[in-house]
Amino acid sequence: MISIAIDGPAGSGKSSISKIIAERLNIVHVDTGAMYRAIGVYAKSLGIASKDEEKLNSLMEDITIDVKLIDGNQHVFVNNQDLTDKIRTKEAGELASDVGTIKSVREKLVLAQRELSKKMSVIMDGRDIGTNVLKDADVKIYLDATADERAKRRLKDILLGGSEATFEEIKEKIIQRDYQDKNRKLNPLTKADDAILLDTTNLNLDEVVSAVLNIVSEKIKD
């Protein structure tokens, strides 16, 4: 069994890259951001604010969170409710960043993530995978890109999806989210000492995939 940890800021391409690598290596992609998003969206549906620690603590005591592969795609269930279609909005990303600052949320999700990695070979992407969730991962990669480049990629996706947004607005949100994810007290986003930094600012998707596959084959060989 192998485990690959991919970390990096919002919009660095973690999920798209991890999905492709998972297919190439025939292993499972676990998108941990989706789990934080699902908790944020679920809490909101109950009227719980994304920074209300007390209410989130009691919510976390009662709920179940499950990750299942359906036709090769990850689905996230909270209390048996499939929230996969509801978590891809900008708002869900911000709710996720907020609930990700809460200890009880992180503890429950990290436990579930570690359980998944014990059962199968995974490529897991998030913010604290190499530094915390899978400290002993076989391969650790930290994907980065400038805020401008990440905002450009996000804008393209949003416009392709038929929604509207401006570059400035997206860049501002990305910078805010970076700040919260890098400066929270619990397991903030940071490169693990033993992670390989891959700056994707000037690379296209195929180039990043090749670079990641090279790193993986070098590491696995050892």
Q: How far is the CB of 187 from ligand DC (least distance, A)?
A: 7
SS3 16: helix
Helix 103-119, helix 53-62: angle, nearest 10: 30
32 binds ligand DC (CB under 6 A): yes
Nearer to ligand DC, 38 or 211 (CB): 38
140 binds ligand DC (CB under 6 A): no
Cα separation, 166 vs 94, whole angstroms: 17
Q: How far apart are CA 1 and CA 69, in angstroms?
A: 18
3-class DSSP assignment, residue 130? helix
**What crossing angle do the helices spanning 32-45 and 103-119 adopt, rounded to 10°?**
140
How far apart are alpha carbons 185 and 136 in whole angstroms? 22
| Smaller CB separation from ligand DC, 148 or 218 | 148
Q: Which listed residue (3, 50, 74, 97) binds ligand DC by CB under 6 A?
A: 97
Which residue among 17, 39, 43, 96 contacts ligand DC (CB under 6 A)? 96
Burial call 103-137: b when 16+ CB within 10 Å, e when fewer: ebbbebbbebbeebbeeeebbbbbbbbbbbbbeeb
Smallest separation (angstroms) from ligand DC to the CB of 217: 25
Q: Out of 17, 36, 48, 137, name the contact with ligand DC by CB under 6 A.
A: 36
The one among 5, 100, 171, 195 contacting ligand DC by CB under 6 A: 100
Judged by CB under 6 A, the stretch of 22-30, 59-67, 121-129, 164-172 that binds ligand DC is 121-129
- From the CB of 51, what's the least distance to ligand DC, in Å? 13
Cβ proximity of 96 and 2 under 8 Å: no
> Contact residues for ligand DC (CB under 6 A)?
10, 32-33, 36-37, 93, 96-97, 100, 126-128, 177, 181
